[in-house]
Amino acid sequence: MRLMAVADFHGKPESKAYLSKCVERKDLDAVVIIGDLTQFGPVSAGEEVLEPVRDLRIPVLCVPGNCDPKSMVEVLEKWGISLHGRRARLGGWTFLGLGGSNITPFNTPFEFTENEIWETLTSLLQEDRKVVLVTHAPPFNSSSDLCRGGAHAGSKSVRKFIEEKKPVLNLCAHIHEARGIERIGETLVVNPGPLFEGYAAYVVLEGEEARAELLKL
């Protein structure tokens, strides 16, 4: 299975153009969108930047980000692409999704306590072997959550879930400057970077393994 992973649109018109470029590829089996479609709303801005995937003929899975209004979830559900607080099966793989983020110092619109994050993620997991975890928040104390000033801003519950449940892949976002690929135990962690700057990630799921390539569009 071949995926395009994108995140952090922040309502910018450049993001819509880059998303159009992403979905022009003919070798994709699905598109995964990892939140922050808007910059504190409105939901119409999210709908605008998502327009390139509205009639896409391959599956699209999307979670909102912490900078999206909570009502963005209703739009994603209406479009049939929401993975927020849900699980989906594609090509023999189980995708588990949670948007928003852990609590930030900035009082952004869509935040959760660590306990809420843990309870939601564990409630989604069943007896699944080939799991892709899609979280806007990256795992704490990783290269994917490292801010420019040196602080780690990710979720401790996402980190705990990765360490204990061992998903094959974690697609995350949130910290723009932490774009990269790393491993936490058995899990490949990919932060594709902000789409509004032309960044994305191409991911291949094969057998029971994942590999990824960072793209500059």
pLDDT at 69: 98
Q: Domain containing 117 — which CATH number?
A: 3.60.21.10
What's the number of domains the chain is made of?
Answer: 1
Q: Give the closest residue to 97 by CA, choosing from 112, 110, 83, 111.
A: 83
pLDDT at 58: 97
pLDDT at 92: 96
pLDDT at 194: 98
pLDDT at 160: 98
> Looking at the DSSP assignment, which residues form a beta bridge with residue 7?
194
Q: What domain range includes position 161? A: 2-216
pLDDT at 202: 98
Q: Which long-range contacts (CB under 8 A, 24 or more apart) does 196-200 make?
A: 196/8, 196/9, 196/10, 196/12, 196/14, 196/15, 196/18, 197/14, 198/14, 198/18, 200/4, 200/5, 200/6, 200/18, 200/22
pLDDT at 183: 98
- Average pLDDT, 10 consecutive residues per value, the chain (217 residues): 98 98 95 98 98 96 98 97 98 97 97 98 96 98 97 98 98 98 98 98 97 97
pTM over 0.95: yes
> Looking at the DSSP assignment, which residues form a beta bridge with residue 183?
188
pLDDT at 49: 98
Report CA torsion sign: 187, 50, 119, 158.
Answer: positive
